[in-house]
Amino acid sequence: MKTFYSALLAASSLAISAPALAQDRDAHFNGPYVQAFGGYSVQNNDGGDTLVFDTDQNGEFGDTVNTTAPANAFSPGFCSGGALGTTPVAGCRGDKDDLEFGARVGFDSRMGNLVVGGLIEGAKSNAKDRTAGFSTTPASYTVQRELDYSIAARARAGFTPGGGALFYGTGGVAYAKIDHDFETTNTANSFAVTRGGKGVWGWQAGGGTEIMLGQSVSLGLEYLYNRYKDNKSYVQVGQGTAPATNPFLLTSGGTRLRGSDTRFDYHSLRAVVGFRF
């Protein structure tokens, strides 16, 4: 994050101190544009995330999976990541920060040194959020989610002190399709991922700077915080070849499980290149 803001400050200072980079500055940041971007998605620190269960399958994920003893079948615990083995001793691989990319179209209206506008954007991120739990069997269970794509509509407003650089804030609504996957070492029960719909809604907010290089081409740096309400997907656990005394089956003949964090959120650090008409 410090590297990003340092680059942002250096690039903006260059634009303000080098008027030869842009001519006719009063015409900048006014009218339609297209932009492409690439960058990095950074997962939030969700170290307290666990698996949660709905043993009576009534839609409420607050139950305990018990054995016939009775005892908590998940007493070995959980980890915020993907299980590397059947017990906590094997460890976990963490969430995966990764590349993101996309494109947008937008329109700005300039009023003196003030700029207001809006944009529509599509993006894809390869970052992964993981949560795992361990049962006394022993066995491990890992849920994973990843952004397939997002479509966002945001407003933005900014200030252009010298005409060749724009400093702006941006925010708006977003719709996303999130891919959910599941891995387990349990070979007795059956498991099916229920995705619960085609997409989820959320919001984005952030800011950045855009620098004009000549009359039409611009370069920029941008930060966005992304949050989606992801509470529709779960894993349906069935009997498979397990006996009726299996902990997942004791209450209602099956169990639903998912990660406890129903917010899918991450940070975006982007480099942006654009063309203005």
Q: Label residue 17 by pLDDT band (50, 70, 90).
A: very low
The answer to whether 209 touches 221, Cβ cutoff 8 Å, is yes
The answer to whether 159 touches 202, Cβ cutoff 8 Å, is no
pLDDT digits over 90-112, tens only? Answer: 999 989 999 999 999 999 999 99
Q: Does residue 12 have a pLDDT over 90?
A: no
pLDDT at residue number 1: 53
CA 80 to chain CA centroid, nearest Å: 15
The CATH number of the domain holding residue 266 is: 2.40.160.20
Identify the residue whose tokens are 């010298």.
162
Q: Considering its fold, how many domains does the chain have in total?
A: 1
pLDDT at residue number 210: 96
CA angle 164, 165, 167 (to 5 degrees): 155
CB atoms within 10 A of CB 104: 18
The identity of residue 227, as a single letter, is R
Q: Does residue 255 have a pLDDT over 80?
A: yes
Q: What is the mean pLDDT of the chain?
A: 90
pLDDT digits over 52-102, tens only? Answer: 999 999 999 999 999 999 999 999 999 989 999 999 999 999 899 999 999
Rounded Cα–Cα distance for residues 243 and 250 (Å): 10
Q: Does residue 46 have a pLDDT over 90?
A: no
Q: What is the mean pLDDT of residues 227-240?
A: 95
Q: Label residue 44 by pLDDT band (50, 70, 90).
A: confident
pLDDT at residue number 211: 95
pLDDT at residue number 20: 40
Domain containing 189 equals 2-276
Rounded Cα–Cα distance for residues 57 and 253 (Å): 9
pLDDT digits over 150-191, tens only? Answer: 999 999 999 998 778 999 999 999 999 999 999 999 999 999
